[in-house]
Every structure is written in structure tokens, then in C-alpha cells.
């Protein structure tokens, strides 16, 4: 299909050429009224030099507490793959004085669940101690429980961690809470040195690249600095980078909590800085981990003129630092911060500064944490809280899988096929849709594309276990039988639409169908919708999420339809009414999810059985409600919903003309002429 080819080409260009953009919010961008909202006892505020928080002062001139923006402290992503930017206040007693979400990109809140529900959730933390154990859902005797927001489990799990981790980090920095202990773990040591190529392949290095254009020096995209950095304590890393002698000397100087930090740089600028003097502090680069900041002094510095590893490329400059003054935890992500400057020509000594940072975490092949990884707690909690739902979902999916494996038995009886199909549709709608809210959406595919184009985060997809398992199932059956297993049997909304169609026929309502020429044209509309959603989401995830509301899934299964705005409710109601008179109107012409799944369905490896006679028979085409059977008798895999009715006809000797003819021949006299005619007939059919 040339139209599909054009769409695929456009999508490939958009995916490879797009970029995600985000503008960071600074705490100084907010108003004093917002600061007071989370720290009510403060009468005024003052900035603390070189710190990301503000200090609040009461009417008596005493410290009333502090306010900090979560994104300056923690890096916790919600379901959208972006953080919930939250302003948090903490008083001198270690109590959370207030919390307020400044910005978020959560789709279920943007266009579904009222914002007030998330606000009420956040307000629960006010006047709670920052070191209190607060869990989402039912709590045990040692913790407090906060009720989850139905339909936004991942969002509130992320916000729970955001508020608590932010407040705890702030309290630790102020000395009113115990400092976070280093995660128990150890460097994985190997006797054999790694090559430079091996280090890069295994993710040893973080990278921070700043172009001259970003520095506002010129319009060039050439690198001002292009830095590789890592913690080089492990011998298989330190020896080939520094040399055995230098590595042994420096590793012997390390005290508890100190590490070797290697930075390698290229570009027109320098990460060491032109103003660095002996005995001074490197002001161009430093490490940051939550609220901990590690500056580098001359006494912590060793120059690297070249690397020992034989396959190592040349670098313009290099250095190895000892991280002193802050116990950087090698088991957690840490940031390299670069502060670049250049003369702005406003005066003889006036300079303009630009700060850039990059986050990195050592791979497990270098540093292994003992015990659970805190960064995985959100998705682990999500899985633990939905064990029963996962069991129910698995039973349904395995049942449908069994039906398709035994499809020859199922299609052996037209009546049996119809009964089982109705039962599965009812189960998909009521159990998967209403009970479990297990409705996959185009938003998950858009999020996957966004992760590929931007920053990949596998934990994002693990954070919603019901949808994760559903998508694993979809991926398996998609390439075996095509999209029809999901679209025709499992999709909760598709099941509802088809059940309404059956109801309309039972009520003897008139059934509508588009003329063939319009059907053939309009069936490409869903591909155009999908093709439009991809660049919209890449340009702005918020815009993409809003446009994805063309899917009525959220209105149907996550919210109460008539409690939404009149536009969403009217759209939903029209689709429901149309489904009584028209077979699956949304699925066949508008559904972007169906379009996305239809593309790989073209390569399915198991299709319904067909005979040579099917090219001249229209019995199956007449009963094919999705109109997936072409005039030449072949089945279009991108339109087929795997209803199996054509396969049931394939085995029905009272419906299929070849079988009817075969039955008549077999009933004739047993002679050589009949046998010859029978053999010829089988070849022709």
C-alpha cells in the first residue's frame, strides 16, 4: 500500500529527526506568595549563596525554615516520564510545612482526574515529619498510609517519593535530619584491564557536551566542551586510564567516602578554566549528588596528558580528582556540573556564565548495590500492590491465548465460535476494562517513541504493571496472528463497541455501512491521526497527550463519562450511539492505536486458512464486518480482527461451496469416474 509506505517514511523522519525540549524551572522564578504558601511562618526570604534552597525568616528575625524545588534535589519521574516539579517547605523541627506542585505533565491529571484530587494527596504531607515512613495505600504498624488516587497510581507513587526525598535531603543539608547513609555496595573488581572500547560499551562514562551555540559564543554546533567522566576506583578502569603506578599511588590516598574522578575533555574551551591558579579551586566543574556538592581543589588534582589504554583516543585535556568534602555515593546517580564563561564585552572584565549538567550512574558491572535499589522502589511498589489484578489479567490473557492455539476446535462449530466470542468480549469489557482499567492506549506507544528520541528510562514502563503485562502479550500475539487478537478480542473499548453492535442487531435497529468507495478512503484516516500524534508528542508531550484524547478510553474506563466536560462526554456518547447502528466505527476509522498495531500486522506468520476457490466466492466477504476480505478473496492483515468467522465457514460443509460440492460427490456412487471427479475437484478448490 503506497499510502502506508509514505506514512512510514514520514514517521521514520520524525522519530529520527525530532527532539524533546524542556525548560527547567528555577526556584527564583516563583513568587514570594508561593514560597509563603509552603512555609507560612516565614515573613521574608533570602537566598543562600551556592545553594538551591531559600531560607525563610519570621517576624522576629529567626529562621522559620527553608523552601526548595524538588527538581534541584531529586530526579524522580512520573508516568509521563517527566518529574512532578514540587515546591517543598521544611521547618527547623524537620516537619514538612507545605508542599505544592508547580508543574507536571501527567496525562491522567491533565485531561482526566480533577487536579483537586492530586492537590488533596499532596496536602496529606503537611505537618508530617520528613523522616516519617509514609506509604501509598494500606500501611503497616510502622508507617502512615495515604490513600492513592484511583487511576493515577504511578503518579501518586512518584509524588510520594518526590515530597519525602526532597524534604529529607533538605533536612540532611540543614543538619536537622540524619544524613542519608551510603547504599551498601562494593566495586566489582577484575584482574584483567578493560579496553577503552569496552568501557564505553559497558556504560562506564557519563558525557556532558556543550556547544558553542549553547554558550552563545557563536552559531556553531561545534563543541565548546565535550566531557567524558567516571568514578575510576575499580582497578580494571583505573589502571588502563591512569597507568598502574599513578592508579596505585592515588588509590592509596583515598579515605573513607572518597573516590577517583576522571574527567576527559575535548572542544574549543576548557573544563579547567583559564583563570585557574595553583593552590586554588577548580571553579569550572564540580560534582553534585542531591544537595551534596563536591568541589575540586588543586591538592585533589592530577593532570592527565594521555591515557594508558592502547585503544584510547586522544583528548585535549584530562584530569583525575579525589572527591573530598562530600561523600559521593557511587551506588547512586551523580551529576557533573560545568560552569562555562566568556567575556561579554560589556566591560573590560565582565563575563557571562552558563551552567550545564549531566547525570550518570555507574553500571552494575562496575558497582553492585547490596539489597534493593531505591530507584526501583516506585515500580516495585506498583507491582506489589496489584498482585491480585495481575493474577486476574493473566488468567484472561492465557485463556484467550489458549483459544487461538485451539482455533481449529473453536472454528469447528459456528455456534460455538459465536458463543465463546461473546463471552470473551463481555469478559474483556467488564473485567479488563471496568474492573482492572487495563486499557492500552496510543499514549504508551508515544511515550516509547519519546523515550527512544529523548532519554530512555525502562523503569517508566515497569511502573504500570497491568499495562506492562498487557503490552508484552500484545507484542507476542501481534507477530503471530496480527493485531486482531487484541483489537478483536482483548481491547476493552473495542469489546464494548462490538457488544453494542450485537445489541443493536438484537433490538432490530437498522444497521449502517459506508459505501465501499468511502470506506476504502476513510480507513486510512486512523493512520493519518497516528502520524499526526507522533510529531505533536515529540514537540510537546503535553500537546500529544491532549490530542490523544481522540481515544475515548479514559472517559470510558478511568472516569465517569457524564462528569467530564460536555465536549468529552458528547464525543463519547456519539460513539456509543453510533456503535448500536454501525459496526465498530471508532475502531475502523479513528483509532490511532489500531493504526499503530496494524503496521506490523502485515508480517503476521499465521493467517486464516483460505482455498483457491475463495478468489471467486463472496460468502465470507459478505459476513466480514471489518471488510478485511479483498475482492480477490485475500485477507488484508491490517484490517482483519481475527473474528474467525471465515475460518468457521472454511470447515462448515453446509456453508462453504467447495465443501458442499465435495459432500455431494462423496455421497455419489463409488466408481472410478466419481473418484476421478473427486480428485479433480479437490485440486481446483
- Non-local (6+) Cβ contacts of 253 within 8 A are 322
Phi, psi dihedral angles at 622 (to 5 degrees): -70, -30
Q: Report the distance separating Cα 417 and Cα 623, nearest Å.
A: 14
pLDDT-derived band at 350 (thresholds 50, 70, 90) equals very low
* pLDDT of 351 over the 60 cut: no
* pLDDT of 480 over the 50 cut: yes
DSSP labels, 313-351 = PP-SEEEEEE--SS---TTS-EEEEEEEEEE-SSSSS-E
On whether the CB atoms of residues 54 and 45 are closer than 8 A, the answer is yes
The three-state (H, E, C) secondary structure of 478-508, written as one string: HHHHCCHHHHHHHCHHHHHHHHHHHHHHHCC
Q: In 509-557, which ranges are continuous DSSP H helix?
A: 516-522, 525-539, 541-547, 553
Lowest mean pLDDT across 6-20, 267-281, 302-316, 657-671: 6-20
Bridge partner list, 296: 282
pLDDT-derived band at 182 (thresholds 50, 70, 90) equals confident
- Non-local (6+) Cβ contacts of 605 within 8 A are 479, 480
Lowest mean pLDDT across 11-15, 119-123, 227-231: 11-15
- Every domain of the chain and the residues it spans: 31-174, 185-370, 386-606
* pLDDT value of position 348: 42
Q: Cα 608 to the chain's mean position, in Å? A: 34
Mean pLDDT for the stretch of residues 327-345: 78
On whether the CB atoms of residues 550 and 592 are closer than 8 A, the answer is yes
Q: End-to-end alpha-carbon separation of the chain, Å?
A: 28
* pLDDT value of position 15: 39
Mean pLDDT for the stretch of residues 166-183: 81
* pLDDT value of position 81: 66
Q: Report the distance separating Cα 343 and Cα 216, nearest Å.
A: 11
On whether the CB atoms of residues 236 and 192 are closer than 8 A, the answer is yes
Lowest mean pLDDT across 170-174, 418-422, 619-623: 619-623
Mean pLDDT for the stretch of residues 281-309: 82
Pairing of strands 134-136, 144-146: parallel
* pLDDT value of position 3: 44
544 to each of 20, 459, 559, how far by Cα in Å?
Answer: 12, 21, 20
Report for 388-402, 541-555, 632-646: range of highest mean pLDDT: 388-402
62-119 per-position pLDDT tens digit:
999 999 999 888 777 776 667 889 999 999 999 999 999 998 877 666 556 677 888 8
* pLDDT of 205 over the 80 cut: yes
* pLDDT value of position 309: 93
Q: Report the distance separating Cα 19 and Cα 14, nearest Å.
A: 9
Pairing of strands 301-303, 292-297: unpaired
- Non-local (6+) Cβ contacts of 464 within 8 A are 79, 153, 154, 382
Question: Closest Cα partner for 295 from 309, 306, 281?
Answer: 281
* pLDDT value of position 213: 87
pLDDT-derived band at 8 (thresholds 50, 70, 90) equals very low
* pLDDT of 7 over the 80 cut: no
Q: Burial-class residue 247 by CB neighbours within 10 Å (0-12, 13-18, 19+).
A: buried
C-alpha cell at 110: 491533565
Question: Closest Cα partner for 332 from 189, 169, 176?
Answer: 169
Mean pLDDT for the stretch of residues 574-602: 94
Mean pLDDT for the stretch of residues 128-142: 70
344 or 538, which is more confident?
A: 538
Q: Report the distance separating Cα 645 and Cα 642, nearest Å.
A: 8
* pLDDT of 548 over the 70 cut: yes
Question: Closest Cα partner for 116 from 155, 149, 80?
Answer: 149
Mean pLDDT for the stretch of residues 342-361: 62
On whether the CB atoms of residues 315 and 307 are closer than 8 A, the answer is yes
C-alpha cell at 205: 562514562
What one-character DSSP code corresponds to residue 29?
A: G
Bridge partner list, 146: 136
Q: How many CB atoms lie within 10 A of CB 356?
A: 17
* pLDDT of 252 over the 70 cut: yes
Mean pLDDT for the stretch of residues 506-510: 94
Mean pLDDT for the stretch of residues 288-316: 86
Q: How many CB atoms lie within 10 A of CB 64?
A: 24
Mean pLDDT for the stretch of residues 415-442: 93
529 to each of 442, 449, 556, 600, how far by Cα in Å?
Answer: 11, 16, 20, 17
563 or 572, which is more confident?
A: 572
* pLDDT of 454 over the 70 cut: no
On whether the CB atoms of residues 321 and 300 are closer than 8 A, the answer is yes
93 to each of 36, 128, 237, how far by Cα in Å?
Answer: 17, 11, 44
* pLDDT value of position 672: 65
Q: State the average pLDDT for the chain.
A: 83
386-400 per-position pLDDT tens digit:
889 999 999 999 999
Please give the angle made by the CA atoms of 80, 83 and 123, to the nearest 5 degrees: 105
Question: Closest Cα partner for 232 from 208, 265, 196?
Answer: 196
208-246 per-position pLDDT tens digit:
999 988 887 888 889 999 999 999 999 999 999 999 999
Bridge partner list, 582: 512
pLDDT-derived band at 9 (thresholds 50, 70, 90) equals very low
Lowest mean pLDDT across 442-451, 583-592, 608-617: 608-617
Give me the residue label for grid cell 488468567.
395
- Non-local (6+) Cβ contacts of 27 within 8 A are 52, 53, 54, 67, 68, 69, 72, 87
* pLDDT of 6 over the 50 cut: no
* pLDDT value of position 413: 84
On whether the CB atoms of residues 318 and 262 are closer than 8 A, the answer is yes
Amino acid at each position: 500500500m503506497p499510502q502506508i509506505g509514505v506514512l512510514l517514511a514520514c514517521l521514520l523522519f520524525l522519530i529520527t529527526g525530532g527532539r524533546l525540549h524542556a525548560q527547567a524551572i528555577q526556584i527564583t522564578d516563583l513568587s514570594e506568595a508561593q514560597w509563603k504558601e509552603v512555609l507560612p511562618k516565614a515573613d521574608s526570604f533570602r537566598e543562600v549563596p551556592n545553594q538551591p534552597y531559600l531560607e525563610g525568616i519570621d517576624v522576629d528575625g529567626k529562621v522559620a525554615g527553608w523552601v526548595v524545588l524538588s527538581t534541584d534535589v531529586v530526579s524522580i519521574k512520573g508516568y509521563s516520564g517527566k518529574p512532578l516539579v514540587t515546591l517543598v517547605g521544611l521547618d527547623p523541627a524537620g516537619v514538612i510545612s507545605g508542599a505544592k506542585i508547580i508543574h507536571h505533565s501527567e496525562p491522567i491529571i491533565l485531561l482526566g482526574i480533577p487536579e483537586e484530587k492530586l492537590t488533596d494527596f499532596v496536602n496529606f504531607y503537611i505537618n508530617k515529619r520528613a523522616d516519617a515512613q509514609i506509604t501509598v495505600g494500606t500501611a503497616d504498624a510502622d508507617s502512615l498510609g495515604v490513600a492513592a488516587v484511583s487511576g493515577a497510581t504511578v503518579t501518586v507513587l512518584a509524588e510520594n517519593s518526590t515530597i519525602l526525598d526532597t524534604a529529607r535531603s533538605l533536612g540532611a543539608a540543614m543538619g536537622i535530619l540524619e544524613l542519608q547513609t551510603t547504599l551498601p555496595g562494593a566495586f566489582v573488581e577484575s584482574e584483567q584491564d578493560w579496553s577503552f572500547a569496552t568501557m564505553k560499551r559497558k556504560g562506564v562514562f557519563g558525557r556532558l557536551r556543550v556547544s558553542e551555540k549553547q554558550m552563545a559564543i557563536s552559531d556553531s554546533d561545534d563543541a565548546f566542551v565535550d566531557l567524558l567522566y567516571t568514578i575510576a576506583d575499580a582497578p580494571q578502569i583505573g589502571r588502563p586510564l591512569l597507568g598502574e603506578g599513578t592508579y596505585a599511588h592515588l588509590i592509596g590516598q583515598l579515605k573513607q567516602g572518597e573516590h577517583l574522578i576522571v574527567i576527559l575533555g575535548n572542544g574549543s574551551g576548557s573544563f579547567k578554566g583559564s583563570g585557574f591558579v595553583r593552590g586554588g579551586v577548580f571553579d569550572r566543574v564540580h560534582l553534585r549528588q542531591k544537595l551534596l556538592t563536591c568541589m575540586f581543589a588543586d591538592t585533589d588534582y592530577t593532570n592527565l596528558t594521555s591515557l594508558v589504554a592502547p585503544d584510547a583516543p586522544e583528548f585535549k585535556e584530562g584530569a583525575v580528582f579525589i572527591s573530598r568534602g562530600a561523600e559521593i555515593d557511587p551506588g547512586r546517580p551523580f551529576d557533573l556540573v560545568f560552569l562555562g564563561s566568556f567575556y561579554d564585552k560589556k566591560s573590560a572584565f565582565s563575563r557571562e556564565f552558563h551552567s550545564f549538567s549531566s547525570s550518570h550512574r555507574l553500571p552494575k558491572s562496575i558497582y553492585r548495590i547490596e539489597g534493593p535499589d531505591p530507584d526501583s522502589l516506585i515500580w516495585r511498589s506498583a507491582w506489589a500492590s496489584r498482585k491480585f489484578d495481575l493474577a486476574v489479567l493473566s488468567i484472561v490473557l492465557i485463556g484467550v491465548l489458549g483459544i487461538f492455539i485451539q482455533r481449529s476446535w473453536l472454528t469447528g462449530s459456528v455456534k460455538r465460535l459465536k458463543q465463546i466470542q461473546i463471552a470473551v468480549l463481555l469478559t474483556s469489557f467488564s473485567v479488563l476494562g471496568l474492573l482492572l482499567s487495563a486499557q492500552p492506549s496510543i499514549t504508551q506507544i508515544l511515550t516509547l517513541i519519546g523515550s527512544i528520541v529523548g532519554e530512555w528510562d525502562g523503569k517508566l514502563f515497569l511502573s504500570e504493571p497491568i499495562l506492562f503485562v498487557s503490552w508484552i502479550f500484545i507484542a507476542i500475539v501481534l507477530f503471530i496472528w496480527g493485531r486482531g487478537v487484541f483489537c478483536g478480542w482483548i481491547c476493552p473499548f473495542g469489546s464494548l463497541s462490538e457488544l453494542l453492535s450485537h445489541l443493536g442487531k438484537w433490538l432490530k435497529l437498522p444497521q449502517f455501512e459506508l459505501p465501499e468507495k468511502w470506506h476504502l478512503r476513510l480507513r486510512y484516516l486512523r493512520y493519518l491521526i497516528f502520524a499526526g500524534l507522533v510529531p505533536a508528542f515529540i514537540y510537546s508531550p503535553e500537546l500529544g497527550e491532549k490530542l490523544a484524547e481522540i481515544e475515548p478510553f479514559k472517559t470510558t474506563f478511568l472516569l465517569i463519562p457524564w462528569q467530564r466536560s460536555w465536549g468529552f462526554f458528547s464525543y463519547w456518547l456519539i460513539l456509543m450511539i453510533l456503535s448500536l447502528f454501525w459496526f465498530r466505527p471508532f475502531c475502523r476509522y479513528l483509532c490511532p492505536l489500531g493504526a499503530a498495531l496494524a503496521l506490523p500486522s502485515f508480517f503476521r506468520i499465521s493467517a486464516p486458512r483460505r482455498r483457491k476457490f475463495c478468489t471467486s466466492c463472496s460468502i465470507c466477504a459478505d459476513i466480514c464486518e471489518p471488510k478485511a476480505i479483498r475482492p480477490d478473496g485475500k485477507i488484508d492483515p491490517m484490517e482483519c480482527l481475527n473474528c474467525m468467522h471465515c475460518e468457521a465457514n472454511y470447515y462448515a460443509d453446509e456453508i462453504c461451496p467447495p465443501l458442499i460440492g465435495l459432500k455431494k460427490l462423496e455421497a455419489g456412487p463409488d466408481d472410478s469416474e466419481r473418484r476421478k471427479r473427486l480428485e479433480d475437484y479437490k485440486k481446483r478448490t
